[in-house]
């Protein structure tokens, strides 16, 4: 059975086809995917240990992403988008709300390597803190979200920003480290209903 599943995955990847939710479920038993979730080729969706992964209905995951619940809980809400080459890794908890727009090559990790003392960094374990990302958040290309951060609803994270502290609802942040640089346009905050999306 394992060889058959690997062969199916290889055919899908070589054909450049999107993985269907049913096929992802077969390959990764601890991943729960909603209806009409699309996962493009060359993506890694994995869980390990007690990790759990849930992706809400209507979410699209583009080519080359790594979405990994490495012993932690990782949830992406409804009608989201994860851009090409993005990496999301949960050792503790990552919760991403509905209608989240994550551009290409974004990194979201709820852990840091411990360092110092007489132990090599690679063997020193991790410090972890949960990440919460609200509804209708837009995260620009190549941004980094670090452990322990809460990003409020309707916030915008500028391309290349490194977010190391909480972002209030509706604020635009940018820079390294990210600071508030503006307010999101209120016209962006009106989310379409599920009925409108279905049309």
Q: Which amino acids are annotated catalytic?
A: 113
d(CA 88, CA 74): 8
Angstrom CA distances, 5 to 30, 31, 64, 66, stand at 16, 15, 19, 19
Going by their DSSP bridges, the two strands 131-133 and 93-96 should be labelled as parallel
> Dihedral angle at the C-alpha atoms of 139, 126, 91, 77, nearest 10 degrees?
-20
């Amino acid at each position: 059975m394992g060889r058959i599943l690997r062969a199916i995955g290889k055919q899908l990847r070589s054909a450049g086809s999107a993985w269907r939710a049913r096929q992802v479920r077969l390959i990764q038993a601890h991943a729960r995917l909603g209806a009409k979730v699309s996962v493009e080729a060359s993506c890694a969706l994995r869980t390990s240990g007690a990790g759990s992964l849930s992706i809400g209905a209507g979410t699209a995951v583009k080519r080359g992403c790594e979405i990994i619940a490495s012993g932690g809980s990782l949830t992406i809400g409804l009608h989201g988008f994860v851009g090409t080459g993005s990496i999301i890794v949960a050792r503790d908890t990552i919760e991403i709300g509905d209608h989240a727009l994550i551009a290409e090559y974004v990194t979201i990790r709820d852990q840091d390597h411990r360092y110092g003392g007489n132990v090599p960094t690679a063997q020193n374990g991790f410090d972890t803190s949960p990440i919460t990302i609200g509804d209708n958040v837009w995260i620009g290309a190549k941004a980094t979200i670090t452990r322990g951060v809460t990003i409020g609803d309707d916030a915008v994270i500028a391309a290349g920003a490194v977010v190391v502290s909480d972002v209030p609802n509706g604020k635009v942040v940018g820079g390294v480290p990210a600071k508030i640089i503006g307010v999101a346009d209120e016209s962006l905050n009106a989310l379409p209903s599920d009925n409108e999306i279905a049309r």
